[in-house]
Chains A and B, each alone.
Chain A
Amino acid sequence: MLSGVDAPQSLLAGWGRAGATRATVSRPRSPDEVAELLRSPGGSGVIPRGLGRAYGDAAQRSGGTVVDCTGLDRVVELDEAAGTVRVEAGCSLEALLRAILPRGYFVPVTPGTRHVSVGGAIAADVHGKNHHRDGSIGAHVRSMVLATPTGVRRLDAGGEDGALLDATTGGMGLTGVVTEATLELIPVETASIVVDTERAVDLDDCMARMVARDADYRYSVAWLDALATGRRLGRAVLTSGDHAPLEALEPGRRERALAYAPRAPIDLGRLPAVRVLAPSLGAALNEAWYRKAPLERTGEVQSLTAFFHPLDGVGAWNRAYGRLGFTQYQFVVPPDAGEVVRRVLEHLTRRRVPSYLAVLKRFGAAGSGHLSFPSPGWTLALDLPLGVPGLAATLDELDELVAAAGGRVYLAKDGRLRPELLAAMYPRLADWRSVRDGVDPHGVLCSDLGARLGLCDDGSGGSRR
């Protein structure tokens, strides 16, 4: 064992808290220690882990080694002239925001939680509410340092190792451990967003509004009332916004325009009653969320936290789903296949699978990551409690709908995709495999997700199709 690297055994699961497996966890404190771990692997594979916000089994390895990257957490350098930041991969977006916002910069892309690491964000090629305008995070990575089993590489956008960069962006940690990255930032005048809110009465209304308005805003998303059925199916609250210019703030608040102090969350996991109440609470919250939203309101100034990370206000909310945990089903279908969104919602209603959270978004152009999720069209994300009778079969049926429409599901949310569908959903899989075989010829890097989907070999010689 390496000196300075703790290696206890832990039971690890994703954010959905299902499918936990045991692994040896190492927490390297330097990029050199990461490289050393990859040189002398043991067990059934090595996989990096950031903050464990992937919903499924992407950041765990049964019987293997999980490289906890959160010890590499420095913000190395903010280059104000270039508008870029060099940051270690285990740094959270929250910590990064604390460092850069007061100096007038925002991250190029943020997912719906700030508790993700930079490395995890790159590995999933995360998207945010600005995807239709700015693309996914991979489009804003200037360079990165990647530790692979065959050595440490520096990868520059547009440089020689472009294929490895593309295989790593969205590559779910299976091409190596990102140890640091240089990201292009968005200059901002304030830590606020000017938000327009509108209500849509049903899915057609919602989609029509998004098509008509998205282009006018940098950020846009719709929260569907996932429990509404029939005529109200797809009723939604749309929020759209742009970074607030200084003049948008009341004069008294301009002094502290860039102050960023997200409050510590209330810890939901500590309240056992919440678990029991979750199902009825879910319905009530969806109803309340829809009712509370104004029919139409423009120009409201919101904090970044309220706009981008509302769920972060409640800590450990994933525990509310109880012992069996939950999963998220997120898919994208091409622009002309918006009908699939309706069919998915209807199918879940028919199969009596409740969803307590449903978010709809229009994606813009795809990035260059081989296994990157976003591609132009509609993406719907649904939180679903596990243990609902027949859920496994129902999700298989949804996969068929999505695949038939030329769509795909998001690996960062996945814990159960039918492996046979992966190649159809990710047509650049063969490119990805050839790059991976080059940097990891002996198959050192492997996660439970990778073994399950045949992205890495689990030692039986039979998992790869």
Chain B
Amino acid sequence: MNDVTGMPQTAVVLGGGSEIARAVLVALARHRLRRVVLTGPTAASLEATAAAAAHAGVEAEVVVHDLTDVAGIDALVRQAGDRLGTIDLVLVAAGRLGTARLDELDATTVAALAGANFAGPAAALVAFAKALAAQGGGRLVVLSSAAGYRVRKANFVYGAAKAGLDGLAQGLRDALEGTGVGVTIVRPGFVRSRMTSGMAPAPMASDPEDVAAAVVAGIERRAEVVWVPSTLGPVLFALRLLPSSLWRRLPG
């Protein structure tokens, strides 16, 4: 059960190999988290998260599953429910940055990025939302991105997919009113993780642990949107007002 401060005892992570997800689980373990189901396409990264969870006192089960296999999602939801009883929290951390270089972007690549960042996570999000509503409550935490707030040329396929997921999560939140299911959308800027390794950090960069702390605080506040860092929200709000002639010239 989620307690009245919002802290979960059980969780499902979609994209369980994520470094950000790993940090979030460790932070939640300091509160009430005790059991988790981790799903993602690659056993190795899932096992690394399971080990970190175990170290923090959380029992983890690994289920290898690629979210773009949408036919397998209902089975995944059932499996997680059988395993955990009540699913207190679902963390959506799946994502691939991919490329935005036109010479590399063929139709398959674009569709794959759209699948990993939007179609797969969206299908799973809705399926889990229905399961949580049926069980009488719970919380969905969705790792969106600042990149989706105003799409940039540097990562426009990824950014557009994230914008789609962010919008879906907002609408889903409203659709879930009265069900006891809450939705928290997390919009980090540049996070120093595997996804960004080898890239020069953008201004206002943060670490997975910063995202984790913001997520825990966001859950406590039952926040609808969490920016990481929190000052990023107003900055991007202002940048969004820039005329596109200026926007496309911004570095990065």
Contact = CB atoms under 8 A, between A and B. Distances in A.
Interface stretch (B48-56, B131-139, B150-158, B240-248): B131-139
B31 A11 contact: no
B231 to A, nearest CB: 16
A457 to B, nearest CB: 8
By CB atoms of chain B within 10 A, which of A16, A19, A395, A396 has the most?
A: A19
Interface in B1-40: 1-7, 9-10, 30-32, 34-35
A451 B1 contact: yes
Interface string A60-71: 011110000000
Contact of A459 (B3, B34, B86, B179): B86
Interface residues of A, number: 42
B179 A22 contact: yes
A460 B222 contact: no
B137 A21 contact: yes
Contact of B222 (A21, A63, A387, A392): A387
Contact of A461 (B32, B85, B180): B85
A334 to B, nearest CB: 27
B251 interface: no
A281 interface: no
B198 interface: no
Nearest to A23: B136
Contacts of A415: 3-5
Given A21-B180, A22-B136, A389-B217, A395 B5 contact: yes
B5 A62 contact: no
Interface residues of B, number: 31
B221 interface: yes
A14 to B, nearest CB: 8
A21 B7 CA distance: 14
Contacts of B3: 19, 57, 392, 415-416, 452
B217 A11 contact: no
A416 B1 CA distance: 10
A458 interface: yes
Given A387-B220, A389-B220, A415-B4, A459 B136 contact: no
B4 A416 contact: yes
A139 to B, nearest CB: 30
A451 to B, nearest CB: 5
Contacts of B203: none
B136 A62 contact: yes
A168 B83 CA distance: 31
A462 B35 contact: yes
Contacts of B178: 11
Contacts of A18: 4-5
By CB atoms of chain A within 10 A, which of B59, B133, B134, B180 has the most?
A: B180
B5 A391 contact: yes
B1 A57 contact: yes
A303 interface: no
B135 A393 contact: no
A72 to B, nearest CB: 25
A463 B85 CA distance: 9
Interface in A414-465: 415-416, 418-419, 448, 451-452, 458-463
A351 interface: no
B137 A62 contact: yes
Interface string A94-106: 0000000000000
Given A324-B222, A386-B4, A389-B220, A11 B180 contact: yes
Contacts of B217: 389
By CB atoms of chain A within 10 A, which of B7, B133, B136, B221 has the most?
A: B136
B43 interface: no
B100 interface: no
11 contacts: A21-B136, A23-B136, A44-B135, A57-B3, A62-B137, A63-B137, A387-B220, A387-B222, A393-B31, A415-B3, A451-B1
Across the A-B interface, the 6 shortest Cβ-Cβ residue pairs: A460-B85, A415-B4, A62-B136, A63-B136, A21-B137, A452-B1
Given A19-B2, A460-B86, 9 more contacts: A16-B4, A21-B136, A22-B133, A22-B179, A62-B136, A63-B136, A325-B4, A392-B3, A416-B4
